[in-house]
Amino acid sequence: MIRIRGVTKEYDRRQILRGIDLSVDPGEMVFLTGPSGAGKTTLLRLLYAAERPTQGEIWVAGSRVDTLARSELPHLRRKIGVIFQDFKLLRRKTVLENVTFVLRVHGIPLREAHRRAYKVLKRLGLHHRQSALPESLSGGEQQRVAIARALVYQPRLILADEPTGNLDADLASELLSLLCDINYQGATVVLATHDHALLESLPARTLVLRRGGIDYDGMWPP
Amino acid sequence: MIRHALAEGWLILRSRGLISPVLALALAIPVSLAGVTFSLRQWLGPVIVLGDRDSVVDVLLHPRLDDAQRVRFISEQARVHRDWKLAAVAPEELAERLASWFPYLEEVLQREGPEMLPHMVEITTRDPQSVLDLKDSAEVLAVGPTSSVNRVVGQVARRFGLVLLLVAGALVAGAVLLAAVWIHLELHRNAEEIAIMRLMGATEATVRGPFLVAVMVPALLAAVISVALTVVAVGWMAQIAVPLGLAAKNASLAVLASQVLGAVGLPMIAAFITLERHASSEEG
């Protein structure tokens, strides 16, 4: 599902990632961890082609991402569900519209899109806030809308950047079980976190990033 | 796709409130002023042409000349001055002209008859001053006018027309600048939303559609306002200009069509360029 070879990323001559080699098989669940500034978010951004690497090759879902033409980006991104650290909700749209929007982009008719969006929102306990605008939601609620949006079209790959950062322990655990369900159904999940409790709660392949390189790649707890 | 663009574009417009009509008005003003200025330039056309025309100098011949002497005089002048065009004007024709120029003379002219008037020769020349030499000739009573007033008026009108064109150009440049700033600010306002849409896998058409609709609606409004302002302003100015002898007409269709194209086209082009640059910078 993901293949990375010799990837380096620099900002203003400062190396954020250096010579990353990585392979993630379809259906795998991978935790990405490491201290702040280790390059977790940058690595995820490279995977959904928000940025291009300074060097190296990146393959995601059969597409070579680092050389992908701009016109091909939507096709790649429709295969990926991204849960952003800063939520990235559309401010002028309600909760339901935010979730529906992604399905509309995929060409799903409005009525069907509403039905699916409502179902996911209900599962995340947000159906009663479907008409609210993002600014009226708490941080945790906004986080859940972002999660609902990423999961609603059942993508083959889910990239989650600190998805539990604004959730309490119960909701974090509920989210993890949701991602596990999706993973059991065949989706690949890459979850970036520095929440040790989350890492301890589920034995899974874990990549530890440190100073831009992969310091550890194996099951966690070791 | 179009329904999505219209619906989302309407949302953007609604969120802007009164900003859209104000922007439309701001764009309409330079566009309509450019149209008015260009129309004024068109009115000057016939006056500018005067600058290229030859002057006509009237030469009144002495009454004592008989027909043969007059013919000889005209032939002699035509032979010496090959660049002159000479035409004899009989007293009857001169009487008619005088009666039309000075209606109060009509009664006297009818009473006394054209016999009281001298024969005249009309000389068409590029250099009216050269005819002045005939004043000392024994066959000539009077010569005039010998000033190059037509050419001077024509040259002044040409320069004034050039100034008007420059003003129109500056106004169009102002409209271009306004459109560019407007679109840049608009994109800046919606940049986050556009970036999120792209990250969600929206195609460029899906991303740009609503934004272009939100630009096109005020642009169309600006086109309507500028055409209306131009028609009213040019019509009003024509009422003043006609008595001054200018060939004042209503605003031409070409000017109005250019205004519509400018008011709609400039923001749309600016939007396309800005969106393209935004997409490229995001990709980078």
Query: Lowest-confidence range among A122-131, A141-150, B54-63, B149-158?
Result: B149-158
- Give residue B23's pLDDT: 84
Reported in sequence order, the residue ranges of chain A that DSSP labels E, i.e. its strands, are 2-11, 14-24, 29-33, 55-60, 63-64, 80-83, 157-161, 188-192, 204-210, 213-220
- Give residue B131's pLDDT: 86
Closest alpha carbon within chain B to A65:
B283
Q: Indicate the average pLDDT of chain B.
A: 85
Residue contact B11–A91, C-beta within 8 A:
no
Residue contact A52–B283, C-beta within 8 A:
yes
- Give residue B223's pLDDT: 94
Chain B environment of A70 (Cβ under 8 Å)? 204, 279-280, 283
- In this prediction, what percent of chain B has a pLDDT beyond 70? 97
- Give residue B119's pLDDT: 92
> What interface predicted TM-score (ipTM) does this complex get?
0.82
pTM of the model: 0.65
Residues 6 or more apart from B8 whose CB is under 8 A from it?
Answer: B209, B210, B213
For residue B203, pLDDT over 70 is answered with yes
Would you say A49 and A164 are in contact if contact means Cβ atoms under 8 Å apart? no
Strand partners, A30: A190, A205
What average pLDDT does range A80-106 have in this prediction?
Answer: 87
Cα distance from A74 to chain B (closest Cα, Å)? 4
- Give residue B78's pLDDT: 92
- pLDDT grade, residue B177 (50/70/90)? confident
Q: Which two tokens stand for residue A145?
A: 């809308």
- Give residue A75's pLDDT: 87
Cα–Cα distance measured from residue B227 to residue B219, given in angstroms and rounded to the nearest whole number:
12
**Pseudo-torsion of CA B252, B225, B190, A117, nearest 10°?**
-110
- Give residue A204's pLDDT: 86
Residue contact B198–A71, C-beta within 8 A:
no
Chain A environment of B2 (Cβ under 8 Å)? none
Chain B environment of A52 (Cβ under 8 Å)? 283-284
Query: Lowest-confidence range among A11-25, A161-175, B81-95, B251-265?
Result: A161-175
- In this prediction, what percent of chain A has a pLDDT beyond 70? 100
Backbone region of residue A133 per phi and psi (left: phi > 0; alpha: psi in -120 to 50; beta: other values)? beta
Query: Lowest-confidence range among A36-45, A168-177, B90-99?
Result: A168-177
When CB atoms are compared, the residue of A84, A90, A105 closest to B206 is A105
- CB interface of A with B, residues 98-137, below 8 Å: 101-102, 104-106
Q: Which two tokens stand for residue B183?
A: 């679109």
Residue contact A90–B199, C-beta within 8 A:
no
